Structure 1
Amino acid sequence: MYSQKREAATGVATAVAQAGNSEGVRTVCALYGDAGFTAPALVPAEAAHPRIQYEAEWGDVPAFAGQAPPWWPERCGCPS
């Protein structure tokens, strides 16, 4: 998700946890409102500990996800 709200990932991860997490979601990741030299800022929150957010490097995501993440700057309003 893309959001200008600082607690976006935490809010969604909390909602997932409170709903029972029947889908087995492990991590919620928000594209935050700024961008670095290579890609947007990523702010993940774990469903098991939704109140804890951290920042992840875009280049690390393929190792975690097993594939390169999609990124469409024109759809999220991010600078390309």
Structure 2
Amino acid sequence: MTVSTAVSAATGNRIAFNDLRVAQGEIPAPVQDLLENAFDKPLPVKNVPEGLRLRTINATDRGISARLTGHTVTFRPGSSAA
């Protein structure tokens, strides 16, 4: 069984999941409900420096590709934003 979903950038530096699909099999109804609930709300992207905004995100063969834009952004080694 293969489960897939599309990803997109959502407001507030979050990742949204859309178009949940199941290939090569069927998921029992309780598991389908769990998956839909898990992907229902956008997830926040952590440790994005202040001033940067997530504009696009795509799944690729090599992982995830994200594009961010910003103004007056300071990068500091070893720091993380909450």
Structure 1 length as normaliser, TM-score? 0.29
Larger radius of gyration: 2
| Higher helix content, 1 or 2 | 1
Structure 2 length as normaliser, TM-score? 0.29
| Higher strand content, 1 or 2 | 2
